[in-house]
Chain A
């Protein structure tokens, strides 16, 4: 029994291929991953983590500078806003909006885009033509202008922002996934599956989708950064997340009015956006380098 167990273990190691995993992980972009994890934790538990209540104003301490400037203190490391709210707590609490919108939009867009891309690329013919013309229309809308337009019609609200950014975001996935499907479906395993009598839906899901999943993840990682910037831009312009909810974009917009007196109001939330988006981009770049066969050969 025991020897069998050991053989089983060694077999397991053979398949897991330990040295390779170590090699992979050594070159992983750890700093971006850690920043994204911090972002995730702040987004999920922001309310509990924030050192002070982000909604509680303290009118005795308005517009305090960050701790290293004269007048600032460690009590408010990033200073306070015009209502005396702690900027650090606001930045932590603001992660929730970006996280929710970012992941919400990316997941829905990936789902719709992959579905359209798979169907369009695999079935071809008039289905492909119709779907790709529709995709073209959505790709050639000036994104921000339309986002503002739709957001202004729908009115403010976090779920409406997700809707707006999904409408404008799915086409990019569809286009790229379709290209990949066209490449993958040339493979012999697809012809064999057809001969074996697999249904079209099964071929798409079981045989083609696993081969394009890498591409989808890479596109999604880059898209996360784009969505977070787009959401903050809409909030900055005042058509995004409505005021009582702390969001990085609207915090920057408030800071714009105080640019002459209180630079920290817009600096720190912007910094948060910058770090999260930069991390998503660096991670996406690494994933592409790692999983894209075109790059692996280099």
Chain B
């Protein structure tokens, strides 16, 4: 078990180093940062001064090494536009994304598992068809279009919810729903197939013969055993959710990390973009790692395999 965890940890770190390289060189490709830093009437000498000051005159691999060694110590550079440390900026926006992502996650888990379980119990009926259609619509609708339709209906036509911004729970409803629907769909599919697998097994048949009440079969016997793939997908979805907020945050003016990244890209604030991409990937990799370890822990079959 420990060996497995350590192996996965090393893999995650290697992955992160690979990403840091890609991010760093991509950011340098976007143009000379010194030109962005300088005021419009700066002379060539001023610009050269800025290069020296920010360490941009050194060769690329030296710059990368400086970047990496500072990053490990928690210093990800200062924003060109705001002059604040980028880590601070990112951390100040992160709770907002966590709130939005968390709400969307809860929505997708609750609705997704319920629909998945119900469609599995009533397989091949109209309820099943309905659930399948719902799932397919979720993965086929572009997120920005759902957001626009919701806005059109609930804000413009009915006037129930505010179009954009943040503050009250009313502001959270539409973005969370629009973001959550896509993930609900995948949750429905996996819950349905996991439940169908379990419902087909011998011990469920035995429970039926024994005369266990139906609701107990479904909840205590079947769902518990179907939970492993469902939990795995849930974890993966959480990682995607926190990174998938870019569009939703832009549409609804939600001040999270997604919007921070978009703003930084538009204003060519490359240190902020670097930080967003790097921390976003780290978030993703470590959530995956956590899910893998959790998976190994909750699945008794896997646990024994690893220890023996």
Interface residues of A (CB under 8 A from B): 133-134, 136-137, 140-146, 148-150, 152-153, 225, 229, 232-233, 236-237, 239, 249, 252, 255-256, 259-260, 263, 266-267, 270, 273-274, 277-278, 281-282, 285
The answer for the CA separation of A167 and B284 in the assembled complex, in Å, is: 18
A143 CA to B251 CA, complexed, in Å:
18
Which chain B residues (273-301) contact chain A, with CB distance < 8 Å? 273, 276-277, 280-281, 284-285, 288
Q: Given A225-B140, A273-B142, A278-B140, A256 and B251 touching (CB < 8 A)?
A: yes
Contacts of A144 in B (CB 8 A): 243-244, 246-247
A136 to B285, CA, bound (A): 10
Q: Give the complex CA separation of A266 and B150 in angstroms.
A: 12
Q: Which B residue's beta carbon lies closest to that of A136?
A: B15
| Distance of A39 Cα from B156 Cα, bound (Å) | 31
Which chain B residues in 26-46 approach chain A with CB under 8 Å? 26, 29-30
Known pairs A142-B244, A148-B265, A267-B148 / 6 extra A-B pairs, C-beta < 8 Å: A148-B261, A236-B144, A237-B262, A239-B265, A270-B149, A281-B140
For this complex, 6 residue pairs linking A to B, each with C-beta atoms less than 8 Å apart, are A141-B281, A149-B26, A233-B144, A239-B265, A252-B142, A277-B141
Chain B residue total in the interface (Cβ 8 A): 44
- In this complex, the member of A144, A263, A281 whose beta carbon has the largest number of chain B beta carbons within 10 angstroms is A144
Separation in Å of the B185 CB from the closest CB of chain A? 10
**B284 touching A142 by the CB < 8 A rule?**
yes
Judged by a CB distance under 8 angstroms, whether B91 is at the interface is no
SS class of chain A's interface: helix, strand, loop or mixed? helix
- Asked whether B87 is an interface residue with its Cβ less than 8 Å from the other chain, the reply is no
Interface residues of B in 138-170 (CB under 8 A from A): 139-145, 148-149, 151-152, 156, 163
CA distance A249 to B251 in the complex (A): 13
Q: Which residue of B lies closest to A238 (CB)?
A: B266
| Interchain CA distance A239-B250 in the complex, whole Å | 13
Question: How far does the Cβ of A34 sit from chain B's closest Cβ, in whole Å?
Answer: 16
B302 at interface, CB cutoff 8 A: no
Which residues of B have CB within 8 Å of A237?
246-247, 250, 262
Question: Which B residues from 12 to 35 make CB contacts under 8 A with A?
Answer: 14-15, 18-19, 22, 26, 29-30
The docked-state distance in angstroms from the alpha carbon of A270 to that of B246 is 19
Shortest CB-to-CB span from B223 to chain A, Å, is 22
